[in-house]
Structure 1
Amino acid sequence: MKLIWLRHGETNPNRQRRYCGHLDPPLNEKGRCQAEAAAARLAVVEPVAQVVASDLLRARQTAEPLLRQLSTATMQVTPLLRELSFGEWEGLTYGEIYSQNPQALHRWLSDPVRRSPPGGETMTQMGSRLDRWLHEILRHAGTEMRVIAVTHGGPLRWFISRYLKQDPASFWDRSIPHGDVLSVKWEGNRWREQP
């Protein structure tokens, strides 16, 4: 099975980097362009059976151009692909969080696998949602099936650190930019990145 991860397009106005988490902002203009460009790139890959998106608006809006380009693909929406819940920090910038509670921010950045933002999720909690979804698709997917998953930065980092690097502590080491893709293939006992 081949899985193509797609990170949703940008949402924040004026390129402000806010922790959106479970907030539900729409794509901004650049984000809509990123979604269209990603759909055009992915339309030339092998046939895709299914597009699965996080239930949050920014992911669903990123998936819409894919469905127009990939006429044979079906669409599924699931909360299992949602971004990490940032709790009290949702909607805030890094600078705002730092000025309000630098100690809590430092604790979370130092150990996101076991610590959570106040009122939010740990990476392990978010990862358990993602793990359930991966288990489901592997149970139902054929070996030649191709799926595009439209999700967020946190789930992508979790997948890379847990499944590709096999080291959840490497969570901060690699990210996927908005509107970009990561292609992986299930090889029977593990996921491997594809060019």
Structure 2
Amino acid sequence: MSIYMMRHGKTAANEKKYYATPTEPLLPVDPSVALKLKDEVAALSVTSVVTSPYLRAKETAAILWDRGPVAEEPLIREVNLGVLEGRTFHHAYDRYGEALEPWIDDPFNYGPPQGESLRGAYKRAQAFLQIAKDDTLYISHDGFMRLVLSAVKGDVHAFFDYKLENFQIIKIK
């Protein structure tokens, strides 16, 4: 029995280097890539798929899962970046400047204005690991998945040790 996580597909935010909002859609996916993804997921022998409530995760599930309903799990949403969402870092810094400094200096204990610290999101990752079900693929986000890997390791500071690509699948258990 295994638990898997997959990072959603590519978005304009990924390409243009701005912080995505929850409603950020996927970019078009080549049909041959979609078929390959379906085959990869089928090879995992998972019996269910669960997504973040964000549009890009739900659209990823629609591409690769047609063997039953897809559930949503709010715990696996991306780290909330507050005022950064929908903006590039430079645009946000021009607008919010000093208000971003605590987060820039210590993202583990401070979030951007109206956002979430890495430590806060890490607690969500720990809670997720307590409820994650075997034989399930969870479609989530780069930041949150790195926090899950950090939680498995038992160290929130491992967050910056990981890099995940779009559509990458990792085995949690």
What TM bracket, shorter-length normalisation?
0.7 to 0.9
Give 1:79 shift: 1.4
Matched, 1:52 2:40: no
Matched, 1:135 2:130: yes
Query: Partner residue of 1:172?
Result: 160
Partner Cα separation in structure 1 for residue 111 and residue 142 of structure 2: 16
Alignment match of 1:88 (pick from 83, 95, 100): 83
Q: Deviations over 1:76-128 (max 9, x none)?
A: 11211111111111101123234444555454244222110111111222233
Query: Partner residue of 1:17?
Result: 17
Bigger share in helix: 2
Q: Kindly, what percent of the aligned residue pairs are identical? A: 28
Root-mean-square deviation over aligned CA pairs = 2.5
Matched, 1:160 2:149: yes
- Aligned 1:1-195 pairs, distance under 5 A: 1-12=1-12, 15-21=15-21, 23-30=22-29, 37-45=36-44, 47-68=45-66, 71=67, 74-101=69-96, 103-105=98-100, 107-137=102-132, 141=133, 145-164=134-153, 166-185=154-173
Partner Cα separation in structure 1 for residue 69 and residue 92 of structure 2: 40
What secondary structure sits across from 2:10 in the alignment?
coil
Amino acid at match of 1:146: D
Partner Cα separation in structure 2 for residue 98 and residue 83 of structure 1: 21
For this pair of structures, how many residues does the alignment match?
A: 173
Q: Please, which moves more after superposition, 77-86 or 106-115? A: 106-115
Gaps of 5+ in 2: none
Do the aligned residues in 2 keep the contact of 1:9 with 1:32 (CA within 8 Å)? no
Do the aligned residues in 2 keep the contact of 1:50 with 1:75 (CA within 8 Å)? yes
Give 1:44 shift: 2.1
Calculate the TM-score normalised by the size of structure 2.
Answer: 0.85
Gaps of 5+ in 1: 186-195
Do the aligned residues in 2 keep the contact of 1:52 with 1:78 (CA within 8 Å)? yes
Calculate the TM-score normalised by the size of structure 1.
Answer: 0.77
